[in-house]
Amino acid sequence: MEHDLPPVLSLDIGGTKLAAGVVTGDGRIHGWQLTPTLRDEGPRRVLSRLFDLGRKAIAEAGVPHVAAVGISCGGPLDAAAGVLECPPHLPGWIDIPIGAMATEAFGVPSALENDATAAALGEFRHGAGRGTSTMLYLTVSTGVGGGSVIGGRLHRGAAGNGGELGHVMVRPGGRACSCGRLGCLEAYASGTSIAERAREAVAAGRASSLSAVESPTAEDVSLAAAAGDALANEIWDETTGALGTAITDLVNAFEPELVVLGGGVTRSGARLLDPVAAAVARDAMPPAARAARIELAQLGAGVCVVGAGAVAHDLVTGKTDA
């Protein structure tokens, strides 16, 4: 039973924020902690602060001990070896043995997982995906990441970094993506891209209420689109169109019961969800379209911490499926 699982410590390493919390078997976070990453300090100092944050979370959660540590971070990484190989959001972090470092710091086993894959597991087990067998998860935020559960099993891929759904190509030869290719979903749907396209259009002299904003963000674009701004709606339609195209192809390939959309851009709610769901219903193969629901994530900002907790619980129990 999930409620019989021991508490575990979850650590999440983002490009701008570090998070920590103690996660119990029901997926609840206790002793939640958040602090800036300050990635320019380098891995040694950042990880020292992260482990201190974890100790504070344990103290505030009021648990006598934790059974394991789960760590969530963007890849590329070697989950089996517990090594961060070269995550682009953490420049200079090359071959960092964070798993062994966490085990030494806390005296318990540790497990490393890609952040989007961990988030997918969290939503599957404790959020929107409860009760499903096949579920896809996309996080639409600064970048676009993803993870999948296929037939009840978390899919990691042959090299452990499977689920890079943000790098599905939607516009061959299109905008440059952070991965170095052209036309990836991330280059059109991420919050970074939405903001970039708005700034480019305003700089090119396009008329828009966004010209009054010093540095428009994705949220600014969403709000301006809702208010009827023509340029903002053009950018938003391009964004939801790219998402709809990618998710339609993924639904055709995997025929999931559920596609879950999370991340900061999804705070726009129905303005994002409705056109994407309509595109999938219209364009996916009919059996796949009928089977798939498109829904927003339920776990909010703590999804990676909950997911890393689920990974740590699997380490404790030896569980191999999702």
Q: What is the 8-class DSSP label of residue 16? A: S
Polymer length in residues for the chain:
322
**What residues contact residue 109 under an 8 Å CB cut-off, 6+ apart?**
68, 69, 103, 315, 316
Q: Which long-range contacts (CB under 8 A, 24 or more apart) does 245-250 make?
A: 245/170, 245/279, 245/283, 246/165, 246/168, 246/170, 246/185, 246/189, 247/136, 247/138, 247/276, 247/279, 247/280, 247/294, 248/279, 248/280, 248/283, 248/284, 249/168, 250/136, 250/165, 250/168
Q: CA 71, 77, 80 angle in degrees (round to 5)? A: 70
In the prediction, which pLDDT does 148 show? 95
DSSP letter string, 23-45? E-TTS-EEEEEEEE--GGG-HHH
pLDDT at 28: 97
In the chain the domains, ranked by start, together with CATH numbers, are 8-121+301-317 (3.30.420.40), 131-297 (3.30.420.40)
Structure tokens at 85: 């190989």
Q: What is the pLDDT of residue 161?
A: 79
Q: What is the pLDDT of residue 89?
A: 82
Per-10-residue mean pLDDT of the chain, 322 residues long, equals 84 93 97 95 96 98 96 92 90 95 98 94 96 96 92 87 91 93 96 96 96 94 97 98 98 97 94 97 97 96 95 90 64
| Predicted pLDDT of residue 75 | 84
Q: Long-range contacts: 203-210, Cβ < 8 Å, 24+?
A: 206/231, 207/231, 208/232
- Token digits for 311? 């990974």
